[in-house]
Structure formats: C-alpha cells, structure tokens
Amino acid sequence: MTTGSAEKIDLLIYGPRKPVVDNGFSERFIRHNFETKGDLDRLTPAVTEKIRGIAVTGLRPADKTVLSRFPKLEIVSSFGVGYDHVDSAYAREHGVIVTNTPDVLTEEVADTAMGLLIAVLREFIKADRYLRSGLWTTQDYPLSVGSLRDRKVGMVGMGRIGQAIARRLDAARVPVVYHSRNPAPGVSHQHYPNLIEMATAVDTLVVITPGGAATLNLINADVMKALGPRGVIINLARGTVIDEPALIAALKSGTILAAGLDVFAKEPHVPDELKTLQNVILLPHIGSASLVTRNAMDQLVVDNLKAWFSGKAPLTPIAETPVKDR
C-alpha cells in the first residue's frame, strides 16, 4: 500500500481551497483541486485512475457515487468532526480509511454554544438592533424574559464537545443532564435514555449529537411540546437532527420560547419563514469557524494524509474504519 519516496501520490482536494492544504504537501504529492461534486465530472479518466487519497475540505458529499469513482482510493481525510457527508459504510467495505478532525475544535464549538445560548436568552442581537436604531435614547431596552439563571439544560449528545459545553455550564452553575443512546463513560451528570422524559424535566436543549440517519428529526414536535413554553433549543450539531418545519411551527405558536441555530437542514439555504421570526438567532454554521481553529482542522486534514502515505497510522481515523498493522 505504501510507496517508495520517489513515487508521486495523486490527491483529490475536494471542496474549498485552503492555504494550509495548498501549502501543506511536499512535491511528492500532486494535488487535483475540485470544489463541488459537479466539478468532479471534469476529472479525466487518467487522473481518476491515479487518485489514492481525498482531502474533503468542507461539507461536500463523499457518498458512494463519489468514492466509487476512484479504484486506487486508500484514504479519505475529511474536514470537521462530523462525517455524515462521508459514506463510511462504503469506505469500510472497500478497505478505505476515513479520518476526521476531532479535538482541535472542541473548545471553540463549546464556546460558540455558550455564546449562542446566552445571546438567545438575553436577546443580544435584538438589543444591538435596538441601540443602532436610536431607540435607547427614548427608552431603556425591555427586560429579557430569558435568563441562564433559572434554567436547567438537557444536552442532546454528550461526546467530547457535549462534555466541553457541560463543563462551561457547570462553571456557570447551571444544572445539566443529558440524553444519549448510552451513558457517556466518566460523566457524572444524570443520563436520560428517553429524550421525551428529559425534555419534560428541563427547559433548555443543547443539541450536539452526530448527524446522519440515526438522528434524523430526533428533535420532533413531541419533544418541543414536552419542553414547553419556556423552552429554548440550541443546535450546533446538524440541521437534520431537528424537524425544521416543526421547529418553525413551535416558535410561531409559542410552543417553545426561542431557538439558536448554527446549522440547517439544507445549508446554505435557510427557510424564509425562519428568517422572519424574532425569537430565533440564525448563524451561518460558524461553530468552529475562527481562523485559529479552522487552521488547526485543516492541518489535521493534511497530517492524516501525510502520516498514511509515509507508512504510519493516520492520526484520527473514525471508529468505523479502524487502522490495523501500522
């Protein structure tokens, strides 16, 4: 599988151009840049035949129709901790290793979750608009109905980022419980195997669970109803985890109080109806999007490929494609 140092290695760089990726490879590698899935149709058969590694540099579908084009594919190095855009089952069946970029973004995404939660509760965006419009000179901004002080948070997902958010909430003295399929090892917060039961017991959900088929529309109308009229939902996971039309209806009818969303079902398209609502803050998927953190994620995309093609184990393979014998 590995090559002598003289042999060139052809890589597909699939997604947006990144300086860290552009500059991160030695001359031993030949990079072929293609931004979108549609662009891949311009790959020549000669290049397609030679591709041994893919860097997925953004949320691009690396499904079966993409992966199966490349007969010599050994590794897919994907940007981001979530990899629901990569067909890991196909990769596993075909002996292709998949890597992601965990850990380097954990604290950044947790910071964003905390910021978004407080911004929703204390109405920062609305208050900023109020000041800019000149209204403060006539009247103080109204007291916010929401506050972190009288809340109990139910985390949906308690992986690395969930635990980093829980640490922040602990420091802020906010009670935290969580729902996940299985209790998270080493976590002392109360675990709820049943999401509706947890939603009934809390007033705030922070959603940070993997996307994909297993969590599709997990947060549905019943969960929102159980959360109740004080309910706040913060989502930094994937848009698909929430039933978006049900959320819009719940925000409109007062079934829940408010929401903060960093992710959407069909990014970058956000339903117009959501944009008209005042009780939701909408962010363009910026959970990890600081220069320092994105550079670290890009570097890990590069380092996984470099490790693999120098005969070492990749640094962060996903659980579905473990690496043996390296």
Give the binding site for ligand 8YV (CB under 6 A).
Answer: 58-59, 79-82, 105, 285, 287-288
Catalytic residue among 7, 49, 93, 267, which? 267
- Least separation in angstroms between residue 168's CB and ligand 8YV is 18
Tokens read off for 136: 């403060």
Nearer to ligand 8YV, 235 or 321 (CB): 235
Reply yes or no on whether 267 is catalytic: yes
Nearer to ligand 8YV, 204 or 316 (CB): 316
Rounded to whole angstroms, the Cα distance separating 285 from 238 reads 9
Residue facing ligand 8YV at closest CB distance: 80
Nearer to ligand 8YV, 81 or 156 (CB): 81
- Least separation in angstroms between residue 105's CB and ligand 8YV is 5
Nearer to ligand 8YV, 78 or 321 (CB): 78
Question: In angstroms, what CA-CA distances link 198 with 192, 206, 292?
Answer: 6, 12, 36
- Least separation in angstroms between residue 284's CB and ligand 8YV is 10
Query: Which distant-in-sequence residues (6+ apart) come within 8 Å of 4 by Cβ?
Result: none
- Least separation in angstroms between residue 24's CB and ligand 8YV is 17
Q: Is-contact 223 196, C-beta < 8 A?
A: yes
Rounded to whole angstroms, the Cα distance separating 238 from 266 reads 10
Give me the residues paired with residue 206 across strands. 155, 234
Nearer to ligand 8YV, 242 or 250 (CB): 242
Nearer to ligand 8YV, 109 or 257 (CB): 109
- Least separation in angstroms between residue 44's CB and ligand 8YV is 27
- Least separation in angstroms between residue 297's CB and ligand 8YV is 7
| Sheet strands side by side (includes 190-192) | 190-192, 176-179, 153-156, 204-207, 232-235, 258-261, 280-282
Can you give the C-alpha Rg of the chain in angstroms? Answer: 22
Strand runs labelled E in the chain: 9-14, 29-34, 51-56, 75-78, 97-99, 153-156, 176-179, 190-192, 204-207, 232-235, 258-261, 280-282
Nearer to ligand 8YV, 231 or 287 (CB): 287
Q: What is the per-residue DSSP string for 198-246?
A: HHHH-SEEEE----SGGGTT-B-HHHHHHH-TT-EEEE-S-GGGB-HHH
Reply yes or no on whether 238 is catalytic: yes
- Least separation in angstroms between residue 321's CB and ligand 8YV is 17
Q: Is 41 helix (H, G, I), strand (E, B) or coil?
A: helix
Minimal CA–CA distance to 257: which of 120, 158, 155? 120
Query: Which distant-in-sequence residues (6+ apart) come within 8 Å of 101 by Cβ?
Result: 78, 79, 80, 81, 296, 297, 300, 301, 316
Catalytic residue among 85, 189, 238, 294, which? 238
Q: Is 82 helix (H, G, I), strand (E, B) or coil?
A: coil
Active-site residue list: 238, 267, 285
